[in-house]
Amino acid sequence: MNTVTRVAVLAVALALSVPALADKAPAAGDQHDQSSGEQAFKPQQSNTAGSVTVEGQRIDYQAIAGTLVLTPEDLGNEHPGKDAPTASMFYVYYAKKGGGDKRPITFLYNGGPGSATIWLHMGAFGPRRVVTADDTHTPAAPYQVVNNDYSLLDASDLVFIDAPATGFSRVKGKDADKTFFGIDGDGKAFAAFITKFLSTHGRWNSPKYLFGESYGTTRSAVLANLLGNENGVDLNGIVLLSQILAFANSPDYPQADPSVDQGYVLALPTYAATAWYHDKLPNKPAQLEPFLQQVEAFALGEYMQALSAGSTLSADRKQAIAGKLHDYTGLPADYWMKADLRVNGGQFEHELLNDQDMTTGRLDTRFSGPSIDPLGEQAEYDPQASAISSAYIAAFNDYVRKTLDFGKEQKYLPLGHLWRHWDFRHQPPGAPFPLPGATNVMPDLAAAMKQNPTLKILLTGGYFDLATPFFEGVYEMHHLPIPDSLQKNIDYHYYESGHMVYAHQPSLKQLHDDVAAFIARTDNLAGK
């Protein structure tokens, strides 16, 4: 991704699932009718069967790969015109044989905005998993696709959903872009899809869960409120992976919003974890987590106080803070001084290994690759996205056609330019209209939790994620406008991995076990 494009993306603080693909994907306006004309807007379905062994347990399942068509009426348009917006949304539904309609069901989606859900499907919880290198570039094809020992099918039936105009999903009609490409329109489309799915497949009385990654966590907050308070669907639980709810907290481009310093503060523990991983700390501690607790206390204490002081911070105090930042991140104190104690994510990615002419990853800072411009200021690409994206795309394109028997004549769109068209204005609960300013969907999640006080939340993430830093998620949850009594409904689990936690196999096992346990204790199935 070139610098101009990166700045455009970062300026709106996007948490792109796979940013390296953005320049290779077709523009949103080209995505409306790429399947086969009107045939794409008729419900399609392919039924297959298979089995997966999860941690030693064999599970036989039925798989449905298909589309549901969302009509204008489904989207709440009571008086649609001749060319009203319509969406055909692709999904893959895995149901355990003999499981019945009381078995938990989980709806999963990646983010972007503009990403299909191949990453969670082929990397995390589907029955087959593509093997990628742990923190280096995965060699080119042929790629290895194996039984997924950590598929979530042991705990829940699964529905992987592609957002409108991604994957095999398509949109059409006048003003389709305005209808679907925005925070509120996207949320309404997913709410319509889920309610239609529940009717189509007879799952209304199943325990229900949402699992969103990255921008998918933004979607989950909006969706939880829409489902609970407009569609009569109380959820049992929500799993948030690599959370971003308040975009002003992003480290991607905080310099565009002077006086708002959370982006710098909340990224600091991830900078520290990254320096620890790459042996760049002056005095590296033996254990990561106790070290991060120390950094978190400094970040919310001395560091935030120093940034809040602005120009009133004394020179001696500024130098002392810069020295501590050096101790915690490995970046020279002089660099911190020149940066006015404020280093954004792209600068850190470029500078930490710059003595080796290397750039760290953004999605996963354990990865590194040759710097495009060693004399530059910011990272110009993401080594982690470049390292594994091709494997996921090739594996899914092969799997969906040969195993699921779907899409042989269709083009699969892993990632589009939807962020170029995305409407980041949002109408939170109680607001009379969409509000300007940085996106914040914390009120939506809070409304869902207050109106369904049994709703449980599991927040997960990776210590080496600079797209949506783990401490950002913690900070947001601690600032949700909910009663203190509801804070007990939130659990936290973090892993020594990055944005795509599951790309590190030991973390995938931990993630699976944590999510499976979360579902087991919240599914409300008596006498199980």
- Range list of H helices, 259-416: 262-277, 288-298, 304-309, 315-329, 333-338, 345-351, 383-402
Return the pLDDT at 396: 98
Angle in degrees, CA 7, 11, 15, rounded to 5: 95
Which pLDDT belongs to residue 26?
34
**Radius of gyration for the alpha carbons in the chain, expressed in angstroms and rounded:** 22
For strands 456-462 and 145-147, give the pairing.
Answer: unpaired
Structural contact between residues 501 and 508, judged by C-beta atoms closer than 8 angstroms: yes
Q: What is the model's pLDDT at position 436?
A: 86
Token pair 């969406």 in the structure block, residue: 87
Q: How far apart are CA 428 and CA 448, in angstroms?
A: 12
Q: Which of 89, 278, 259 is nearest to 189 (CA)?
A: 89
Strand, coil or helix: 440: strand
* Other beta carbons within 10 Å of 141: 11
Residue 407 near residue 36, CB atoms below 8 Å = no
- Give phi and psi for 460, each to the nearest 5: -130, 155
Tell which residue, 409, 416, 414, 441, has the closest CA to residue 427. Answer: 441
Neighbours of 467 (CB within 10 A): 32
Q: Of 438, 429, 271, which Cα lies nearest the Cα of 342?
A: 271
CA distance 105 to 98: 14
pLDDT of residue 38: 74
In this prediction, residue 80 carries a pLDDT of 76
Find where tokens 């594994």 sit: 388
Residue 113: asked if its preceding bond is cis (omega within 30°), the reply is: yes
What does each of the 528 residues of the chain score in pLDDT, given as a tens digit?
333 233 333 333 333 333 333 333 333 334 444 444 677 888 999 999 999 999 999 999 999 999 999 999 998 887 677 788 899 999 999 999 999 999 999 999 999 999 999 999 999 999 999 999 999 999 999 999 999 999 999 999 999 999 999 999 999 998 899 999 999 999 999 999 999 999 999 999 999 999 999 999 999 999 999 999 999 999 999 999 999 999 999 999 999 999 999 999 999 999 999 999 999 999 999 999 999 999 999 999 999 999 999 999 999 999 999 999 999 999 999 999 999 999 999 999 999 999 999 999 999 999 999 999 999 999 999 999 999 999 999 999 999 999 999 999 899 999 877 878 899 999 999 999 988 889 999 999 999 999 999 999 999 999 999 999 999 999 999 999 999 999 999 999 999 999 999 999 999 999 999 999 999 999 999 766
67: left (phi over 0), alpha (psi -120 to 50) or beta: beta
CA atoms within 13 A on the CB side of 111: 29
Contacts of 207 (CB under 8 A, 6+ apart): 102, 103, 104, 105, 236, 519, 522, 523, 524, 525
142 upstream amide cis, omega within 30 of 0: yes
Which sequence spans correspond to the domains of the chain?
3-248+388-520, 255-384
pLDDT (0 to 100) of residue 301: 98
> 3-248+388-520: which CATH topology?
Rossmann fold (3.40.50)
**Collapsed DSSP state (helix, strand, coil) of residue 332:** coil
User: CA-to-CA distance for 330 and 263, rounded, in angstroms?
Assistant: 19
Query: What's the confidence (pLDDT) of residue 6?
Result: 33
Across-strand partners of 96? 61
User: Do residues 86 and 101 lie in contact, with contact meaning Cβ atoms separated by under 8 Å?
Assistant: no
Q: What φ, ψ does residue 191 adopt, rounded to 5°?
A: -65, -40
